[in-house]
Amino acid sequence: MLLMLPLAHNGDLRFVDAIFTATSAVCVTGLIVKDTALDFTGFGHIIILALIQIGGIGYMTAVTFMAIMRGKKLTYRDRLILKESLNYPGMSGIFRFLKIVFASIIFIELTGTIILALRFWADMPLLDALWYGLFHSVSAFNNAGFSLFSTNLMDYRGDFVINFTIPWLIIIGGLGYLVLLELYNYRKESLTRLSTHTKIVLWTTGFMILAGMAIILSLEWNNPNSLGNMSIYEKILSAWFASVNYRTAGFNTIDFSTFSDSDLFFGTVFMMTGGSPGGTAGGVKTTVIALAIIGVWFTLRGQNNPHIFRRSLNPYQINKAYATIFVASFYVLISTVILNESEHLHFVRTLFETCSAFGTVGVSTGDGGVLSYSALFSDIGKLNIILLMLMGRIGVFAFTIVIVGKAVQTRIKYAEGKVII
């Protein structure tokens, strides 16, 4: 409703496009059906930025923090909701953790703002550079991908400062607050050992980034439409930037519509993976993918005691990882088929857009201009993408529980049935 106000946008803004933009911002996705730079005013940009920040932190986390600052006493139920919102392992020390989270957010985003503002200052007046630095820092840390440049960051393809700062803000935001706190305490030597969760997150994140770079470079190295005509330096920098954004954010320094279908298909796998629990990114999460791979590995080896880093893993968690991947894939495939039949557009690009929405990523093959591929969809198609963005941000299990209801515990156990595999 705020975006629909005349002082928030330029020209005409349809209601479905306003809802799409608001959903994309609060779900920290970054898909756009209107040019953020030109179709919205400064006031509109402030609204979008506020939605990104609230969406990245988490609505319940933001509301709880404001309540604490006002001196309100929270009930046990409030603490339980906050625990789930932050993916915090216990109830003890949760308020202290919340304050550390907000202090960390302010510090990281201000640091990013200063670095980006100094770089943008070379291209624009100081006040504009500060605003652009703040907007892009918040957008990057919250894995949103919204940009105040019509061509996103394509004009900075070879710029080391932009290609270093933006991806690291994205990575830090996508790791999760619990991981960041553990790393800080480990560095200060107040923690002697990183948890299994943190190790899995760090190893999986690093592997996914390097694997994404390798795939992009191998498939696009000689493609004259994408990386083919770039220098080796620009090829590596562009592949690094694209690989980081494939999983979590919607910034781009190259046109994804120039990528081969093979590359776009691999991109859907990375987008479905997303970031890590407790962070600002979406997707099924790095830990889910890691647990599923570990489960498959030990199953193939005929072992029933999965473990990693000399720590055993709960079989229920591995089964939950399988279920998460299955349910997420089901939602995405059904939505892709519906969109493909209703919109009659390129199948791989439709699948790419669907995964980008579900993973709250925001990268897109584009509409032939500066907008996302979703801009070509009908109103029904856009509503489908809106639902996927909400589903991806809320979480697969949380969304599914709304439909099927909570599991009912039972003490009945049936006789074991034999099934041949």
Quick one: how far is CA 421 from the chain centroid? 36
* pLDDT value at residue 352: 92
Q: What is the pLDDT of residue 59?
A: 64
Task: Please check whether residue 176 is in contact with residue 279, taking contact to mean a CB–CB distance below 8 angstroms.
Answer: yes
Domain residue spans of the chain: 150-404
Phi, psi values for residue 59, rounded to 5°:
-60, -50
- Single pTM value for the model: 0.88
What is the pLDDT at residue 136? 95
Q: How many residues does the chain have?
A: 421
Under DSSP, is residue 307 helix (H, G, I), strand (E, B) or coil?
strand
What does the pLDDT look like over 338-381, one tens digit per residue?
Answer: 999 988 888 999 999 999 999 888 889 988 888 899 999 999 99
Task: Taking the CA atoms of 253, 256, 262 and 264 in sequence, report the sign of the dihedral they define.
Answer: positive
Distance (Å, whole) CA 396 – CA 203: 23
pLDDT tens-digit profile of 168-191?
999 998 888 888 888 888 887 777
pLDDT of residue 250: 83
Adjacent-strand bridge partners of 9? 40
Flag whether pLDDT at 44 surpasses 90: yes
**Look-up of token digits 């299994």:** 196
What's CA 209's distance to the chain center, in Å? Answer: 14
Contact 393, 28 (CB under 8 A): yes
Decide if pLDDT at 159 tops 80: yes
Residue 64 has pLDDT above 70, yes or no: no
- How far is it, in rounded angstroms, from Cα 62 to Cα 142? 14
Tell me which of 396 and 87 has the higher pLDDT: 396
| Whether residue 13 has pLDDT greater than 80 | yes
Q: Mean pLDDT throughout 85-95?
A: 66
The whole-number pLDDT of residue 166 equals 93
| CA distance between the termini of the chain | 54
